[in-house]
Structure formats: structure tokens, C-alpha cells
Chains A and B, each alone.
Chain A
Amino acid sequence: MVESNEKSDKTPKLSIKDLSIFYGKEKVLSNVSFDIFENEIFGIIGPANSGKTSFLRILNRMDTFVPEMRFEGEVVFDGKNIMEWRNLYALRRSIGVVFPLPVGLPMSIYENVALSPRLRGIRSKGELDSIVERCLRRAALWDEVKDRLNVLGSLLSGGQQQRLTIARALSQEPKMLLLDEFSIAVDPVTTMKIEDALKDLRNEMTIILVTNLVQQARRLANRTAFFLMGEFIEEGNTEDFFTGNVQDPRTRQYVQGRFG
């Protein structure tokens, strides 16, 4: 496995050891181990059904929605094993998630972004206004919606809704942001806008980017991991993936587009 030497002196933000994920008896991902550091975008690539979404679900304990889902191994976030966090909600608050298909909550644009701060106890209108504006700006949506913050979030276009969910995730003030194939329902122009926004966000948090566009990983990710059919193949500097400097021939084949 490629060790990223220049990072090894820092303590990882997220540390994963021997993680395996199961639905009932079926194992859908096995033996994942790697560390992710602050201020990096970590890409995860792999074909359909390779276990990428399942992996993200574990990180903020969204496995609780699927009764038969469980995992083995160790996931340490922010210095604490995620199973040992006493306040599950605090863990989730510090990890923002963006789903493949945008889920606008059935409320106004403003309320979508203000919900999480409100739940944290922020009441002042001025403070909420400024949080909403800041998050929408950082998600590259502010200019398009600033005059209609009170319309239903679900009335926005698909690409706008996706940026709304990014703004909503940012309103949690997360330390880590998980993006699951965010560009699946988004046009190329919007995709580029979001990608630019992510490059800026990298300076403030840790980002995990699941994508099945290998070129997107190349554009954004500092390091990348490759999952294949429930197997963790390898992890390394993204550039190495594209210069063919990899351990496993299957990685090279996938990156070069010669794969099933």
C-alpha cells in the first residue's frame, strides 16, 4: 500500500482500521484501512455496488437507519472511536453529508439552511441571516436565490437543490464533509461551480468525495482510494493513480477506463 509520507507526522482526522461492512450475513466491503487528514480532499472511486455509499453511511453512523446493517473494525473520528461517542447527534452534527440525489426538506430555502443552526439553539434573526447567506455563498448558490429565499426548496432546479443541500451541510459547521456522487443529477456547469466551491472548502475541513467520475477525483482529490466489488484495493496519491504508479493492475485498468 502506498503510504503518503509527507502526512505521516500529522494526526489523522479520520482513521480507519480493518473496517468491514455487512448487511445481515452478506459482507459488502472488507478490510478497509487508511487515514484521512485535515484540509485534504480524499477521493473514493469504484464501479457500482463496490460499497462506497455503505462506507460513507458508517462514518456518521447512518447505519442506524438500516436495521440489518453492521460493521466490524475501528473508525476513529476526531480522536474518538465513533462507537464510543456518547452523543450520536453531536457526531452527526460534525459530519456533513450530501446525498447523490438532492433532498430538499419540505420548507423554504431559508429554512433549509437555517434549520441546523436553529436546532443548535441559535435564535437571533440577524445571526441566522448571516449564517444562511454565508453558507449559500460558499455553495455558489447565493446569487441565484437571494431574492427568493422564502420559496420552497423543492421548487429549485436539480442542480440548485444539490447546492442547497451543500449549503445545508455547511450550516452544521461540520469538521468533515461527505459527498456521495454529488454530480449525478447535475449539469457540467453546475458541477464545475461546486468543484470550485469544494477547492475553497478544503482549507477549512476534511472532505471525502465519492465519485464514479475518475476525472473528478483527479481534479479534486489529494489522495484517492479504489474500491472494487466490496474489496478495498488500494489507496495513494491521486496523481500516482493517473501516472500508472499503482500496486494493483486492476486499479490501472479502472482508471484508464478499461473495466467492466
Chain B
Amino acid sequence: MTPKPLKNTSDTLDFAWYLDKAVEKLVFLGGISGIIFIVGIFIFVFKEGLGFIIANMDIAEFFGNPAWRPTSDEPTYGALALIAGTASVTGLAVLTAVPFSIGSAIYISEFSTGRTQEFLKILIELLAAIPSVVWGFIGLSIMNPLIIDLFNVPIGLNVLNAGVILGLMAAPIMTTIAEDALKAVPDQYREAAEALGATKWQVTFNVVLPAAKKGLMSAVLLGVGRGFGETMAVLMASGHSIHLPTSPFDSVRALTATIAAELGETAIGSEHYRALFTLGILLFIVTFFINLTADIIVRGKGDR
């Protein structure tokens, strides 16, 4: 005699099941539309810029010639000075921001406690929220005369000014990310190391910082990315004149500032207009690689 098959009564679709499915669809829709927007922007920038690259661009001139003269009778589109401007300002910004931000992240996460810690965190977040035009203003009205007085140079709007301003601007964000990286190191490690008799500084230096090094590196890289794409403050503090900088006291012009300043005055679809989009592509690619590197570092299984 074959046994009677069991009748299943528990496999019912209840409200929680339907809700789960509905939320899943909704989240998918939200996510996919974000991706569509990004891809749309990407296509738009590339469509405009690519036309220039194919029809008019002379690679050697673009990367090798410092003369950016889009409006002259014989226009030249040399981006070298602009690239050098952005690179020098960003480089100085990183040099300024890294010690400040890693230092304050260490202080906030490892040495301060209770109210001081809370207060500092809020302060850093407030600093991160200062609009870039305010930083530009500080560059113009405070740093400019300061540099002229201190170094006895004719003009204070230069690589030094923009680099420091940009560094100060990027520091709060770097600090926040670096502090998150330090906070992610489990307290057990600190306890275990202190139980060994390590001093606070030894624990920080020998255990916490190595354990957080990936997070710290990506904090620095994201700061670099931030500096690279910044426009307004650099436009105001750098002097905005086309120069291959040879000293920190040279005025320079940045890629971003060039686009911001010139795009409004060009005819849509003109050669100049498209050349500016090519600068945009360059920015896009570099920022993309910086973020990608940060991402790879964070995910990387690079432990020994």
C-alpha cells in the first residue's frame, strides 16, 4: 500500500512576501534610473567632445602645447598649461590636506573622547559644508594680501594660494573618510595591544594605522579627486592666467575653471565649444581613474 501524500498547508504567499517583492522592484527602479542618468551624462559629454577629437584635435598639440588660444584668428588648442595648472594646484592641495586631515582623524578617533570628540566631529562636518565660493572668497580677500606681504611678490593669486585653499577645502572630507577608516578598526585590537603594554601612540602607529591603511589611502585619493574637479575656488584663487608654472608664485589656470569661464561665451556646436567638452572628457577620465583606484584599494585583498 502506498502512503497517502502529505498535503502542504504552510507554503502560502502572505503579505510580507508581496511587500518584499514590491520593495525589491521599487529599489531596482531607483537604482537603474540613477545609472541611466549617469550614462546619459557620460554620452552627452562624449558626443560633444568626441566630435572635436575626431575632426580637429592634434594630440601632440593638445598635450604638448601650452597655448590655449581658442578665440584667436589662428586658434590653437594646447591644454598643457591647463593640465599643469590643475596638476600643480591639486598636488599642493594634497600636500596641504594630507597632514592636516590624517592628523585630525587620528586625534578625533584615537585620542579625544566624549564631548570633545562629538564637538570636533560636528565642527569638521560644518567645515565640509562651506560652499566653495566662500573658500574662493577667502583666497581672494585674505590669502591674496597675506601672500603678497609675506613673500613680497606682486600678485597673491597663484598656485600657492589656490593649492592651500583647495587643501583646506578638501581636508574636512578627507578627515571624515579617514576617521571612518580608523573607526572601522575593531576595538579589540586596541585593547589587545594596550594589554601588551603598548602606549597609546604605539597602539595607533603599530596597530591601528596599518589596519586602516587601505581606508586612509582611499581617503587621500578621494580628496585628490575632489581637488581635481573643484572649479569655483580655484578660478578665484589661482589668478586664472595661462602659464606653465615654474614656481608656487606663478598664476595658473585650471581645466575646470577654463570650462566654467569660457563655455558660456561659445556658440553651441562650434569648434571652441567642442574643445571645451574635450577638456571635460579629460577631467572625467582622470577623476574616474582616481575613484577607481580608491575603490580597488578598498576592495583589494592586498594583505601580504
Contact = CB atoms under 8 A, between A and B. Distances in A.
A106 B210 contact: yes
A62 B190 CA distance: 11
B206 interface: yes
Interface stretch (B3-11, B51-59, B193-201): B193-201
Interface of A: 60, 62, 65, 67, 89-94, 96-97, 99, 103, 105-108, 115-116, 118-119, 150-152, 165, 168-169, 172
B197 A62 contact: no
| B193, B195, B202, B207 pick with most chain A CB within 10 angstroms | B195
CB-based closest 9 A-B pairs: A93-B197, A92-B197, A103-B192, A97-B195, A106-B211, A103-B188, A116-B196, A89-B197, A89-B199
A119 B194 CA distance: 11
Given A105-B207, A107-B210, A108-B304, A90 B197 contact: yes
Interface residues of B, number: 21
B266 interface: no
A179 to B, nearest CB: 12
Given A99-B192, A103-B188, A152-B304, A119 B210 contact: no
A139 to B, nearest CB: 15
Given A105-B207, A106-B210, A60 B192 contact: no
Contacts of B189: 103, 105-106
A155 B142 CA distance: 55
B190 to A, nearest CB: 8
A115 B206 contact: yes
21 contacts: A65-B187, A65-B194, A89-B197, A90-B197, A92-B194, A92-B195, A92-B197, A93-B197, A96-B195, A97-B195, A99-B188, A103-B189, A103-B192, A105-B192, A105-B207, A107-B207, A107-B210, A115-B206, A116-B198, A119-B196, A119-B202
Given A105-B207, A108-B304, A62 B192 contact: no
A150 B197 CA distance: 23
A144 B114 CA distance: 44
Contact of B197 (A103, A152, A172): A172
A172 to B, nearest CB: 6
B188 A93 contact: no
Nearest to B187: A65
A136 to B, nearest CB: 16
Contacts of A93: 196-197
Contacts of B196: 92-93, 115-116, 119, 168-169, 172
A150 B192 CA distance: 20
